[in-house]
Amino acid sequence: MARARVEKDFLGKVRVPADAYYGAETERAVENFPISGMKVPIEFIRQYALVKRSAALANMKLKKLDEKKGKAIVRACDDVIKGKFDNQFVTDVFQAGAGTSVNMNVNEVVANRAIEILGGKKGDTKLVHPNDHVNMSQSTNDTFPAAMHITTYVLATDRLIPSLNTLQHAFEKKAKEFKGDVKVGRTHLQDAVPMTLGQEFSGYAVSIAKQTDNISRAAKTMLTLSLGGTAVGTGIEASKAYSNLVVNEIKKQTKANFTLSKNFFDFQQNRAEEEWFSGALRDLAIAISKIANDLRLLASSPTSGLGDIKLPAVQPGSSIMPGKVNPSVPEMVNMVCFEVIGNDTTISYASESGQLELNVFMPLIAYNLVYSIKILSSACDVFAKKCVLGIKANEKKMKEGVEHDVSIATALAPYIGYTRAAQVARKAVKEGKTVRQVCIEMRIMPKSELDKILNPKEMTKRKR
């Protein structure tokens, strides 16, 4: 049997692995909830440690926390933030509500590391106690949502938005590159009037830009915290001075404009900010998935599809069909987007199911928010670098399509009327001819006028 130490909590004795930095409450959570194997995201844990570090500094300034203990706690938090104890955060995502197990996991690891720094042995809570010292002036109910807000804001601004900017710039670059490539536009999956491939790609760039702005606005709602609200928002065991000090310390460390919530009761009852941000992620996923769908359609080929573009070949596409190449990157993007949309549904249900003074489903909300941000960030980077930037225009295929596009009869309508233009178009389809050929046969107008009116490139330009 592996070596163990015995710790106590108010429920009794618990055997904890001897080398573990976590303690009795974490071990109970591990034993009680062997559910999924999915752990609380380490990015979240590190921001939780930042909350603990800031709380210790605030409590020292208020003379509530002994300076020797406080400095050891700060050093221990720094170690957690640097990733030195990542393997000590072991609670399953599906656990007892509110995140108490997560909070205690952090408290216990920080406490035992602080004990070690002070020369003691793990479990010697007389030196540093996880509740009395590390959790001083705090509750799970105000620290967990604070860590969730900080993590979401930092990941959104440091990872997701830069990835979206990369993707937007990739589409903008291609829009310029393809500005002279005339192709058939399509509505209802049927041929429509001509446009340029550059115009099509400019739409994708603007779509990403709009979603980036939406994400940025949603991220700013995460800049409110209720630290000092403690259990239900009344601030029991915490002072107003503490709230101001702890938030100012977080503001200093993150270089972000975090402020205190105007109403701690609303903040702890509801997860409105997380809902909004998750909704912004869902909207982003819908927009990106639509673009991925378009690229798969536009690249459908090489012999019998639309074939307007050629995607970079990143891997073989079949285990049985030699030489087959699939739109692998857009397919990955679609799957990521489906996952994000599903995560939003989970977050919506979890947010709606909060009761009275607390939402007990915060661990699930936090996990899905962080997960969605991470996979979207990575997907956008890969989408830009391994797909969009390598797209080539299939000029020959597009030219052939434009030559046989019957929708260019639209340009005739101002001259010969809608009804007669429709007759020309239907005759072209029926006889397998171009609109120009039919017009000449029907002697609609002189060739010189037809050349001007039926110029596909001119049709792509807005007339003043």
Q: For the chain, list residues with pLDDT below 70.
A: 1, 464
CA distance 81 to 22: 16
Chain-centroid distance, C-alpha 418: 47
Are residues 368 and 425 both part of a single domain? Answer: no
Same domain, yes or no, for 39 and 181? no
Regarding whether 436 and 372 lie in a shared domain, the answer is no
Q: How much is the pLDDT for 464? A: 61
A 10 A CB-CB count for 33 gives 15
Among residues 344, 371, 396, which one ends one of the domains? 396
Which of 379, 376, 380 shows the shortest CA–CA distance to 368?
376
What are 303-336's pLDDT values in tens digits? Answer: 889 999 999 999 999 999 999 999 999 999 999 9
- Would you state the structure tokens that stand for residue 83, as one six-digit string? 């990733």
Burial 38-57 (b: 16+ CB within 10 A, else e): ebbbebbbbbbbbbbbbbbb
In this structure, the answer to whether residues 207 and 315 fall within a common structural domain is yes
Contact 365, 41 (CB under 8 A): no
- Cβ atoms of 195 and 186 within 8 Å: the answer is no
**Tokens matching residue 448:** 């010189």
25 and 85 share one domain: yes
H or E element: which one contains 194?
Answer: strand 190-196
Is 383 within a domain? yes
Token pair of 65 as six digits: 């926390």
Split into its structural domains, the chain has a count of: 3
Indicate whether 325 and 451 sit together in one domain.
no
Q: What digits encode the pLDDT tens for the residues 341-387?
A: 999 999 999 999 999 999 999 999 999 999 999 999 999 999 999 99
Shared domain for 358 and 268, answered yes or no, is yes
130 inside domain: yes
Exposure on the CB side of residue 309, measured as CA atoms within 13 A: 27
Write down the pLDDT at residue 301: 82
In a domain, 374, yes or no: yes
Does a structural domain hold residue 258?
no
Structure tokens at 434: 């171009």
318 is annotated as an active-site residue: yes
CATH code (residue 14): 1.10.275.10
DSSP string, 133-185: IITTT--HHHHHHHHHHHHHHHHIIIIIHHHHHHHHHHHHHHHHHTTT-EEEE
Structural domain of 32:
4-136
**Is there a contact between 397 and 307 (Cβ–Cβ < 8 Å)?**
yes
CB 268 within 8 A of CB 260: no
Taking alpha carbons only, the member of 47, 270, 55, 53 closest to residue 155 is 47
323/415 same-domain check: no
Residue 337 lies in a domain: yes
**Does residue 241 form part of some domain?**
no
Has this prediction a pTM greater than 0.85? yes
Rounded CA-CA distance 208/453 in Å is: 35
State how far the Cα of 421 lies from the Cα of 413, in Å rounded to an integer.
6
- The region, left, alpha or beta by phi > 0 then psi within -120 to 50, assigned to residue 119 is left
Residue 236 domain-assigned (yes or no): no
Average pLDDT, the chain: 96
Cβ neighbourhood burial of 412 (10 Å; 0-12, 13-18, 19+): buried
Which of 301, 318, 348, 353 does the annotation list as catalytic? Answer: 318
Co-location of 211 and 328 in the same domain: yes
The CATH number that applies at residue 430 is: 1.10.40.30
* Residue 77 resides in a domain: yes
Which of 396, 414, 441 is at the close of a domain? 396
- Are residues 176 and 308 located together in one domain of the fold? yes
CATH number at residue 272: 1.20.200.10
- φ/ψ of 60, rounded to 5, equals -65, -45
**What pLDDT, on the 0 to 100 scale, is given for residue 380?**
98
Task: Tell me: do 283 and 207 sit in the same domain.
Answer: yes
Per-residue confidence (pLDDT) for residue 219, from 0 to 100: 98
- Location of structure tokens 């979603």: 211
Does 408 lie in the same domain as 367?
no
Please list, residue by residue across 240-267, b when 16 or more beta carbons sit within 10 angstroms of its beta carbon and e when fewer do: eebbebbbbbbbebbebebebbeebeeb
Q: Please identify, among 396, 412, 442, the residue that sits at the C-terminal boundary of a domain.
A: 396
For residue 274, give the nearest of 373, 195, 351 by alpha carbon: 351
